[in-house]
Structure 1
Amino acid sequence: MQLSTSLIISTYNWPEALSLCLESVLHQTVLPDEVIIADDGSRDDTRRLIEAFRQRCPVPLLHVWHEDDGFRKTQIMNQAFLQVSHPYIIQIDGDIILNRHFVEDHLHFAREGSFVTGSRVVIGKELTQRLLRTHRWRFSLFTPGLHNRLNGLRLPFLTKSQENYRQHDTLYVRGCNMAFWRKDIFAVNGYDEAITGWGREDNELAERLINSGIRKRVIKFSAIAFHLYHEWRSRGSVERNDEILHSTMTQKRTRCERGIDGHT
């Protein structure tokens, strides 16, 4: 019996990118059992896009939204976790285009007592603009304009041998390509909502999972994701968020005070 899964997609005011992301979701070799959009306060154009995709999506498509009050990914992700109906969660960002085997690969790699982080191929600025302009989400690994192409090689027979790559480095975590068990996320109380603004929210969550005895595994040569180019967000909050991460590391925290349970 196949493991059932919820795919959570975080987004904020970029419906053009979200459209390409959702197209790649609809064309997966194995569909998730539900899709949840964690929307950090987007405008109505994103809501209309999601409604249009809901008509085409063969699995439930949920839209979890709160008002725009700055970068509050931790809060909207925790609200999305509360809507999850399946035991395994795959998490991506709304500016990611998925290889058609992405969900299949994550499900094949899933193991109890662990969480997973993957990597991504970076799509350059010019190619990103062309894909958005033409609404094209299919392309080759050899298409000009891709960076770090090695992350795009799908060689599943090598995946298991690479699972311990940078295993103890919690700074090597990609929130745009992660997977974990719902029970483990609830045990650590989800994302720490003391972290606001861009930076370290995924690393801090990973640290608490590891402190709880949940093993970090890296999925390479499978679960391939392509990241659309965008300008960097403000890094003004990183220093404060680094302090929270450092505190979690030194105190070996397993649970945050401000997390999922603040929304129940």
Structure 2
Amino acid sequence: MKVSVIVTTYNWPQALRLVLRGLARQTRLPDEVIVADDGSGPETRQLLEEIARDFPVPLRHHWQEDIGFRAARSRNRAIAAARGDYVLMIDGDMVMHRDFIADHLRHAQPGSFVQGSRALTTPALSQRMLSDGTVDLSVFTPRLDRRRNALRWPALASLNLRRARRRPPRAIKTCNQGWFRADLLRVNGFDERMEGWGREDSELAWRAWHAGIVPRHLRFAALAWHLHHRERHMDGESPNDRYLRETRAALKVRAELGVDQHLGEFAAQPLPDLRTP
């Protein structure tokens, strides 16, 4: 099964460097990495061209104009360009354990998507990682919050998933998710009417639930460390709440403005591999 990793980013090339370093050291390498860029400045492109020189798999860059927070559209276009059967979505501030991809694939099942967790780095730990390039953390690393999410125990992860009950979406975050691409196309990806912070991930999960694609929460595997930073948003209400309420009330399955509008473009002209001059 071919795997496409989609990394969202916006104007933080220092963090992106760590994320890509972690991807290049996976025990099971992805088949391609697509950086979904929501309008970063030229520093990000320069970084990617530098890293691409010795990156072990195809590295692709999709950039869109910076006219506000448009994560839904950025991810949709990366999904449309992806060539893998399975799509892993992570944020550009998530540094992955060496077995991150292998763990996700071990627990992938048709008709479901996998929701992973994250451990949080404190400001001091995050700064150290950015300064010295550290990507190998463990449950014993000092200055780590949500430490329970830094424990890797594959047997317990499998047992936990087998015993998990089928339940509606909860605690949905696209910073660590695995999907069959066919399922994403079935529900038409993210709803691009949703701009600004919030709810585009939860709204997708509810449409998937209505389509019979269930969330499966993975613990004790597919570990990732979230780099500390000032948030681009405030917790609480989002202007996109109305779309989420509408989706739940109407039992919607497909996005009104979704990934299908981009498929033809990338079928005709695939995203280039930055390793190729």
Query: TM-score over 0.5 for the alignment?
Result: yes
Asked whether the equivalents of residues 199 and 235 of structure 1 are also in contact (C-alpha less than 8 Å), the reply is no
Task: Please tell me the residue identity of whatever aligns with 1:225.
Answer: A
1:6/1:89 contact within 8 Å kept: yes
1:31 match: 29
Confirm or deny that 1:22 pairs with 2:20: yes
Equivalent residue number for residue 184 of structure 1 = 183
CA shift at 1:170, angstroms? 2.0
The CA deviation at 1:165 is: 4.8
- For structure 2, the residue ranges without an aligned partner over 5 or more in a row are 265-277
CA contact (8 A) 1:191 1:260 kept: yes
Please, what TM-score do these two structures have when normalized by structure 2? 0.90
Secondary structure (helix, strand or coil) at the match of 1:56 reads coil
Question: 1:122-152 CA deviation, whole Å, 9 max, x = no partner?
Answer: 0111111121122222233322110011111
Report the counterpart of residue 160 of structure 2 in structure 1. Answer: 162
Give the aligned CA root-mean-square deviation in angstroms. 1.6
Distance 1:141 1:48 in 2: 34
Q: Kindly state the Cα deviation for residue 183 of structure 1 after the two structures are TM-superposed.
A: 0.7
2-structure distance, mates of 1:187, 1:100: 31
Which residue is equivalent to 2:273? none
**Residue equivalent to 1:230:** 229
Q: Which residue of 2 aligns with 1:135?
A: 133
- Counterpart CA distance in 1 for 2:156 and 2:139 is 18
Which one-letter code corresponds to 2:57 in the other structure? Answer: V
Bigger shift: residues 222-231 or 238-247: 238-247
State percent identity of aligned pairs: 43
Q: CA deviation at 1:167?
A: 4.9
Query: CA separation of 1:68/1:208 partners in 2, compared to 1, >3 Å: closer, same or farther?
Result: same
**Deviation of residue 175 (structure 1)?**
0.8
Q: Residue 243 of structure 2 corresponds to which residue in structure 1?
A: 244
Are the aligned partners of 2:197 and 2:238 in contact in 1 as well (CA < 8 Å)?
Answer: no
Q: Partner of 1:96 in structure 2?
A: 94
Note the residue ranges of structure 1 that are not aligned, 5 or more in a row.
none
CA contact (8 A) 1:40 1:73 kept: yes
Task: Tell me, in whole angstroms, the C-alpha distance in 2 between the residues paired with 1:10 and 1:188.
Answer: 20
SS of the residue aligned with 2:249?
Answer: helix
The answer (yes or no) to whether the contact 2:95–2:226 under 8 Å persists in 1 is: yes
Cα pair 1:199 1:237 within 8 Å, conserved:
no
Q: 1:80 aligns with which of 78, 81, 84?
A: 78
* 1:203 aligned partner: 202
Is the 1:123–1:227 contact (alpha carbons within 8 Å) kept by the matching residues of 2?
Answer: yes
Of 67, 70, 79 in structure 1, the residue corresponding to residue 68 of structure 2 is 70
User: What is the CA–CA distance in structure 2 between the aligned matches of 1:68 and 1:39, rounded to whole Å?
Assistant: 9
Q: Tell me which residue corresponds to 2:41.
A: 43
Q: Residues 236, 160 of structure 1: CA spacing in aligned structure 2 closer, same or farther, 3 A cutoff? A: closer
Please give the TM-score of this superposition, normalised by the length of structure 1: 0.95
Kept in 2: contact 1:196–1:237 (CA 8 A): no
Residues of 1 paired with 2:56 and 2:132: CA distance? Answer: 25
Task: Give the 3-state SS of the residue equivalent to 2:238 in structure 1.
Answer: helix
Contact 2:168 2:215 in 1 (8 A): no
